[in-house]
Amino acid sequence: MINLETPKKHRQLIDQAHQVAMNMLRPISRKYDQAEHAYPKELDMLAAMIDGLADSGASEGAGATGVRRDDKADEKGVKNGANLASVQSVAEMCWGDTGLTLSMPRQGLGNSAIASVANDEQLKRFEGTWASMAITEPSMGSDSAALTTTAVRDGDEYVLNGEKIFVTSGERSDSVVVWASLDKSLGRAAIKSFVVTKGTPGMKVERLEHKLGIRASDTAVITFTDCRVPAENLLGSPEIDVKQGFAGAMATFDNTRPLVAAMAVGCARAALDLTRGLLEEAGVEIDYDRPAQVQSAAAAKFLQLESDWEGGRLLTLQAAWMADNRQPNSLEASMAKAKAGRVGSDVTLSCVELAASVGYSETELLEKWSRDSKILDIFEGTQQIQQLIVARRVLGLSSAELK
């Protein structure tokens, strides 16, 4: 039976993540929001600490993790594993700062892709790399299957050609997980992911984007021109299975979407915590034992925001728990991403409104959190795409039947 209470074995890790967020990330949050594209050197020490925890096995979920479909569920009962620990610790880190969390060395979205799709040999070979993930292209919009980047086999190498945009940590990472098609005539089934090491000839970081939020995180445009990648760097199986279709890609999304949802949950909670204090200072009483309709408008609004936030949090925990227990969670991952992404934007912007001039000014971080949270409703699949995926799953329709 599923239990979404914080497991005892994870509490120490989550408490440590909260302390890091409060004492290390929050104090430098504004500094790196204003110094866009400057690398937060303070994160190097923090990354070393996380590496040490992961290497010692003392804190399951301290690093990037993935949904391993080839493993069997724990036959002795339910498991609260690395995915559940990861979403909870990521939420705590984003309570401190979302952009800085995304900038953590060796904790990129590409690391989760490797953890989800790579075989055992590749997992060992790419251990310790800092991998960003390159999916989106200028002309594909939100349809990942419409990518045009190609990978052509040439002996013991693949030759990549194409352009990727919005690559998180695209300049700072050691390697990039690039999604490309082996044969466009075969559609989604031919899409595979490749680990391309930085410095590979033909790979070029063209520019860094200036953004509304998460400014501490670099977002790059990367081109691949006759870029030769060893065949062994194709993640997972090189075989094109038309019946399996987009399964390799979806295995990655099933893991990263709950992580992004957790980021939204953490950022929104930061806004709620601060706004609650500001309302109390202004004399607004929030009474959890009285109906919202008999309280002040501000208190009633705050109660509604907390209720929505709790829904997003529980959906996120459910998707991660299912991954730990090797249950198919594609539907739940999209539900969590859709709910938490929307709630994150609604909560942070509403908190700015509730705090009035204080919320709009830079004297507090509320306005920053409202800017940061918006991307969490967009990347890893927009709100509209998530709702479309949920509708297909619920109705039992294919992508061709429901567009």
55 and 14 in one domain?
Answer: yes
376 and 251 in one domain?
Answer: yes
Q: Is residue 400 part of a domain?
A: no
Backbone φ, ψ for residue 204 (5° rounding): -140, 130
Considering only CA atoms, which of 328, 316, 393 is closest in space to residue 69? 328
223 and 267 in one domain?
Answer: no
Q: Is residue 41 part of a domain?
A: yes
Q: Is residue 77 pLDDT above 50, yes or no?
A: yes
Q: Which residues span the domain enclosing 137?
A: 131-233
Q: Is residue 75 pLDDT above 70, yes or no?
A: no
23 and 121 in one domain?
Answer: yes
Residue with tokens 């009035």: 356
Predicted model pTM: 0.92
| Final residue belonging to a domain, choices 177, 199, 233 | 233
| Final residue belonging to a domain, choices 233, 260, 293 | 233
380 is catalytic: yes
197 and 89 in one domain?
Answer: no
387 and 258 in one domain?
Answer: yes
221 and 185 in one domain?
Answer: yes
Confidence at residue 62, expressed as pLDDT on a 0 to 100 scale: 44
Confidence at residue 73, expressed as pLDDT on a 0 to 100 scale: 47
385 and 337 in one domain?
Answer: yes
Confidence at residue 277, expressed as pLDDT on a 0 to 100 scale: 97
Q: Is residue 291 part of a domain?
A: yes
| pLDDT (tens digit per residue) in 228-253 | 999 999 998 888 876 555 655 666 78
Give 157: exposed, middle or buried? Use CB within 10 Å, 0-12, 13-18, 19+.
middle
322 and 263 in one domain?
Answer: yes
Number of domains in the chain: 3
Structure tokens at 138: 């200028």
Active-site pick, 157, 285, 380, 401: 380
| pLDDT (tens digit per residue) in 239-295 | 887 655 565 566 678 888 999 999 999 999 999 999 999 999 999 999 999 999 999
CATH code of the domain in which 385 resides: 1.20.140.10
| pLDDT (tens digit per residue) in 297-307 | 999 999 999 99
